[in-house]
Amino acid sequence: MGLLKFLMITIFVLWLIRIILKLVFPMILRNIFGKMQQQANNGGAAPQPKKPEGSISIDYMPPQQKPGNADKLGDFVDYEELK
């Protein structure tokens, strides 16, 4: 009797979750896509401030490579391939 009661409650809860998701999920998606569409219509990300003509802005500086000391790198051994 307990197993039957458990199965009925489980089926009812899963059915209820399914009904709720059918109603709520489309509203959530509509809200998310509406916000995305508003951002696209408003120019996407926040507009960057206008800079005076002729000014230069550097956004990224690559790291400088440190010059290696050839004495610390070791000896170069020239080899010939033998067949």
pLDDT at 69: 62
pLDDT at 48: 65
pLDDT at 21: 92
> Which H, E and C letters describe 7-61, residue by residue?
HHHHHHHHHHHHHHHHHHHHHHHHHHHHHHHHHHHCCCCCCCCCCCCCCCCCCCC
pLDDT at 59: 83
CA 26, 28, 29: angle at the middle one, nearest 5? 65
Q: Give the model confidence (pLDDT) of 26-80 as tens digits.
A: 999 999 999 999 888 887 555 566 778 888 888 888 888 776 665 566 677 777 8
pLDDT at 50: 75
pLDDT (average), residues 13-28: 94
Q: Give the amino acid at 60.
A: Y
The residue among 48, 66, 65, 45 whose CA lies nearest residue 57 is 48
pLDDT tops 70 at residue 13: yes
